[in-house]
Amino acid sequence: MGNPVVTAVALAAGHGFSKPTRPGIRLLAGLGVEGDAHLGVTVKHRSRVARDPTQPNLRQVHLIHAELHAELRARGFDVGPGDMGENVTTSGLDLLALPAGARLRLGPEAVVEVTGLRNPCAQLDAFRPGLMKAVLDRDVAGNLIRKAGIMAIVCASGPVRPGDPIAVELPPPPHRPLERV
């Protein structure tokens, strides 16, 4: 796709849907994005906390590819970085094609490990009517494709800023495709 790069970063201290973009964020190993509502060792997404607050937080960092924003804008949706709740917007990297366990070095220090696909929720339609359907697709076999980004845990702390390069380290084969997490 090209040279992968961070194009935007965002965080929100409160539980809401969109996250305002920032000049930079700091990732904290084992926790997530410093100052973000989803920071923590255990789950922070309200629906998951209600089910079992002791579950490990496999959704510490949410990443979306800028190419999805472009696709959605071409379909008439006004969306940009942080709008769908992501912490890191990337460009030049097919996030959805990464295997589970892939590691991404974001900038000089921070490293995240991909845990799975974001499962789109009805909040997307509250933000922009019809958006949930727009981030779901079907492959030729009829299998559901979730396009709303990926989730990751933080393996190494560090700052992340727009313009930072992204280096990909694949896990040893066999590679497991991403599933919703």
Longest CA pairwise span in the chain (Å): 42
- Asked whether residue 163 is assigned to any structural domain, the reply reads yes
- Asked whether residue 164 is assigned to any structural domain, the reply reads yes
- Asked whether residue 177 is assigned to any structural domain, the reply reads no
* Total number of domains constituting the chain: 1
Give me the domain span that covers residue 115.
5-12+23-169
pTM above 0.85, yes or no: yes
Q: Cβ distance 74 to 106 under 8 Å?
A: no
pLDDT tens digits, 11-21: 999 988 899 99
The enclosing domain of 55 has a CATH number of: 2.40.33.20
Parallel, antiparallel, or unpaired: how do β-strands 136-138 and 144-146 relate? antiparallel
Q: Structure tokens of 37?
A: 């509502």
pLDDT tens digits, 76-86: 999 999 999 99
At 46 the three-state DSSP class reads helix
Residue 123 zone, left/alpha/beta (φ > 0; ψ -120 to 50; rest):
alpha
- Asked whether residue 174 is assigned to any structural domain, the reply reads no
Alpha helices for 11-106 (secondary structure H): 46-51, 66-74
